[in-house]
Amino acid sequence: MTLRRIALGATVAALAVTVVLFGGVFSGSGEVSPEAVPPAAAAGQFLAGFSPGDTALYVRGLERRVSQAPGDAESLLVLGLAYQQRARETGDPSQYPRSERALRRALVLFDRHDSRKRKFLAVTGLGALAASRHRFREARELAQEALRLSPRSASPYGVLADALLETGRYTEGFRAVERMVELKPSLASYARVSYARELLGRPNGAIGAMRYAVEAGSTSAEHTAWTSVQLGNLSFDAGRLGQAKRAYLQAAARLPGYVHAEAGLARVDAARGRYPAAIRRYKSTVAKLPLPEYAVALGDTLRAAGRIAEARRAYALVDAIQRLFRANGVRTELETALFDLDHGRRLRDALVRARANYRLAPSLNAEDVLGWALVRNGRCGEAESHARRALRLGTKDALKTFHLAMVERCLGRRANAKQLFGRALAINPYFSLRWSPVARRLAS
């Protein structure tokens, strides 16, 4: 697991919730006004994490409509979902409070008119928003409410699955994924199948499911580009740089200028030691989409290239972005704790944040970060159980394995540690610019 894997917008499972997309802002999207797309169709697109066209234009049109007709519940619903899409497109979390206000206003109006069908969409949208803010218990409750309103709808199962998986309720989460696929075998459902298989240590199965997702979204350039990037990420995490690069290039060819394809290519360049090329790509990515994981990657690449002062500036940007997220209702304890732990900063406070996150959402990632926080604070005996539980599903994750190796080494079990360092490198020798060299040194 890296910051990319747990950051806002960066998990394979949460297609409709946390993935960041540039839907509708590229050439070829066309200018789509609210009148051109029926509200139900637009709502479905936004809930799936994609845009029916130029989202910024769409938002402006809806804002005009709502200002002229404040009681237009359907326009408020779609506007609330469109604000979430703008957050995904721009990385701007100030869209989240706007989304919440619009969706809650729509919900009041739907209640007033007893519109059960539209109410289900508003509740699902609020659930997706809660998950985007890493408020997974709230997301679970909202998804369950949406399913009471519309039991055979697939989209609430996506929100429910994400919320359950992110709070460590894996058996229930996998059941929710299965039910989503049964109801609607789509890009969103296959992406979640892929993530479930990845968690269970089946990387080839995860890649296979993501290929189904490619086919399910093949009519849309944006859908295909997104799934190609996810295929690239899965290949990278398995140490297959050539396959990863081909997938990222396919995404870039399908959707020229696609920021996530550019970030993937930067990651491959950095793994191969081509730091100037990687830095150029990451700088372009951060300029277009200032997300914490991309700013961290830029800083780490600058550091690896010996450009320490520039790396510090990139890390300062990470802090500023995280503050902005917190100000707009996003829980960031896990991400900020991992960042500080990896960079040797505020170690005691990072442990406090890791514990707080674990109490709220005891997922594999939370186990891992808490274990890492404990070992970085010299509390290796306490760290062991968390580091082992982070791998309890059989997940083939190089960084989690590295963290367990560091626990073993801290406990004086050098032979066990050496074996685990080797296992981490066998999973992915490029798992971290910062920690892969440490694993290579300690495995020898």
pLDDT for position 35: 59
**Rg over CA atoms, the chain:** 21
pLDDT in tens, 224-244: 888 899 999 999 999 999 999
The two structure tokens encoding residue 208: 């296979």
Assign domain 185-272 to a CATH class. Answer: mainly alpha
In sequence order, the 6+-apart residues with CB closer than 8 A to the CB of 316 are none
| 3-class DSSP state of 316 | helix
Q: With 60 as the cut, is the pLDDT of residue 23 above it?
A: no
The pTM of the full predicted model, rounded to 2 decimals, is: 0.89
**Cα(334)–Cα(264) distance, integer angstroms:** 23
Domain residue limits, the chain? 1-159, 185-272, 274-331, 333-443
d(CA 210, CA 195): 9
Mean local confidence (pLDDT), 141-145: 97
Domain 1-159's class?
Answer: mainly alpha
The sign of the dihedral angle between the CA atoms of 390, 247, 208, 214 is positive
Structure tokens at 403: 């963290």
Residue 219, SS3?
Answer: coil
Spatial distance between the Cα atoms of 348 and 246, rounded to a whole number of angstroms: 42
DSSP 36: G
Work out the angle at residue 388's Cα, subtended by the Cα atoms of residues 343 and 208, and round it to the nearest 5 degrees. Answer: 90
Q: What is the CATH number of domain 333-443?
A: 1.25.40.10
Give the whole-angstrom CA distance, residue 281 versus residue 85. Answer: 24
Which residues contact residue 419 at a Cβ distance below 8 angstroms, ignoring those fewer than 6 apart?
Answer: none
The Cβ-side half-sphere exposure at 151, using a 13 Å CA radius, reads: 1
pLDDT 10s digits, 282-300: 999 999 999 999 999 999 9
Cβ-Cβ contacts under 8 Å for 315 (sequence gap 6 or more): 295, 296, 299, 343
Question: Are the folds of 185-272 and 333-443 the same?
Answer: yes
Instruction: Work out the percent of the chain whose per-residue pLDDT is above 90.
Output: 78
Which residues lie closer than 8 Å to 428 by C-beta, 6 or more apart?
A: 236, 237, 238, 239, 398
Q: What is the pLDDT of residues 184-200, one digit of tens each?
A: 998 889 999 999 999 99
Distance CA 105, CA 26 (A): 31
Tell me the three-class secondary structure of 185-210, residue by residue: CCHHHHHHHHHHHHHCCCHHHHHHHH
For the chain, the average pLDDT equals 89
Single-letter amino acid, residue 90: T
Asked whether the predicted pLDDT for residue 327 surpasses 70, the reply is: yes
pLDDT at 116: 74
Residue with tokens 């199948």: 193
| pLDDT, tens digit, 9 for 90 and up, residues 29-43 | 444 555 566 666 777
**How far, in Å, CA of 198 to CA of 20, rounded?**
20
